Amino acid sequence: MGKLIYYELLKTFLKKRTYLGFLIVAIIVPLVEVAMKLEGGRFLQLATRRLQEDFFFVGSLFNGWFVSYQIMNSLWVHIPLLISFVAGDQLAGEATAGTYRLLLIRPVSRTRIFLAKVATTLLYTLLFVVFLGVISIGLALALLGGGDMIVIERGILVLEESSVAWRFLLAYLFAVWSMMTVASIALFFSSFVENAIGPIVATIGVLIVFMVLTVLPLEIFDPIRDGLFTKHMILWQKVFNDPIPWDEIWKSVTVLGIYTGVSCVAAWAIFVRRDILS
């Protein structure tokens, strides 16, 4: 099994498209962070303009932690797209290239090949989110330094610097978990189509529909909202609440886990049964 995973990783990481997401992150994150540094605290001032009418701010809360949080917040809609580029290609890419005919005539069960694909997809997701975290937090701290972190949502919350690092660690762990759900959905679509674009488009389509249903303020959607994975994808934000709402977090972890599991099982069932006609 180790050998199968090794060669799946080799195939994935020797493919140029695998690095597209890394390249985009490597361009956009430094660009935004350098721009924020050049703008000084204007961004924070704009964001807290209303609050400043009622409160008096002492010291600078515009630091690396604040910027990292903002980056995570704003990129989180786009990261699934980049994840689906690779995850959606895992099975459909073989169909497109005709290499199913190379792989699936060997004395290895399709289940083992599928498991190697799943492991590769999840490992890619992990590496990608870790890369985003390292480059985003590392550069922001290097450029702007640390300090207490201000969280502006419905109200304002200042988190002590001593608790910020582990909150980010937890946030990225939960981010990996939610991105694995996206990757699994892309893998599911990848299991029954013959071209590599289809799963990407389908995954983005599902994301858009689910996101719209999640945020649309219509009561008719209330009963299903809790079951939409997009509602739970932002669970990482909750670790920046005080106190941390662990009940909500575990509920989100469970819902996302169910989506991941069901997507993978469905993809497996299709993959092991399908006729290879490409």
For position 102 contacting other proteins by CB under 8 A, the verdict is yes
DSSP state of 156: E
Q: Select from 102-110, 132-140, 211-219, 236-244 the region that touches other proteins (CB under 8 A).
A: 102-110
Among 53, 58, 107, 217, binds other proteins (CB under 8 A): 107
Task: Tell whether the torsion through CA atoms of 78, 216, 262 and 195 is positive or negative.
Answer: negative
Region at 239 (left for phi over 0; alpha for psi -120 to 50; beta for the rest)? alpha
Strand ranges, E, within the chain: 149-152, 156-159
For position 11 contacting other proteins by CB under 8 A, the verdict is yes
For position 13 contacting other proteins by CB under 8 A, the verdict is no
Kindly tell me which of 75 and 272 has the beta carbon lying closer to other proteins. Answer: 272
Give yes or no for a contact between 68 and 145, defined as CB atoms under 8 angstroms apart: no
For position 213 contacting other proteins by CB under 8 A, the verdict is no
For position 101 contacting other proteins by CB under 8 A, the verdict is yes
For position 23 contacting other proteins by CB under 8 A, the verdict is no
Give yes or no for a contact between 86 and 124, defined as CB atoms under 8 angstroms apart: yes
Kindly tell me which of 107 and 155 has the beta carbon lying closer to other proteins. Answer: 107
Residues 6+ apart with CB under 8 A from 154: none
Region at 276 (left for phi over 0; alpha for psi -120 to 50; beta for the rest)? beta
Q: Select from 63-71, 154-162, 207-215, 268-276 the region that touches other proteins (CB under 8 A).
A: 268-276
For position 78 contacting other proteins by CB under 8 A, the verdict is no
Among 20, 27, 45, 98, binds other proteins (CB under 8 A): 98
Q: How many angstroms separate the CA atoms of 114 and 108, rounded? A: 11
For position 10 contacting other proteins by CB under 8 A, the verdict is yes
Q: What are phi and psi of 149, to 5 degrees?
A: -115, 135
Among 75, 81, 103, 156, binds other proteins (CB under 8 A): 103
Kindly tell me which of 98 and 138 has the beta carbon lying closer to other proteins. Answer: 98
Among 7, 19, 246, 250, binds other proteins (CB under 8 A): 7
The letter for the amino acid at 60 is S
For position 108 contacting other proteins by CB under 8 A, the verdict is yes
Among 69, 85, 100, 168, binds other proteins (CB under 8 A): 100
For position 9 contacting other proteins by CB under 8 A, the verdict is no
Among 23, 35, 77, 97, binds other proteins (CB under 8 A): 97
Q: How many angstroms separate the CA atoms of 51 and 62, rounded? A: 15
Residue that the structure tokens 């981010």 belong to: 175
Q: What's the closest the beta carbon of residue 87 comes to other proteins, in angstroms? A: 18
Give yes or no for a contact between 220 and 148, defined as CB atoms under 8 angstroms apart: no
Q: Select from 94-102, 123-131, 223-231, 239-247 the region that touches other proteins (CB under 8 A).
A: 94-102
Q: How many angstroms separate the CA atoms of 53 and 32, rounded? A: 28
Region at 40 (left for phi over 0; alpha for psi -120 to 50; beta for the rest)? left
Residues that bind other proteins (CB under 8 A): 3-4, 6-7, 10-11, 14-16, 97-109, 113, 273, 275-277
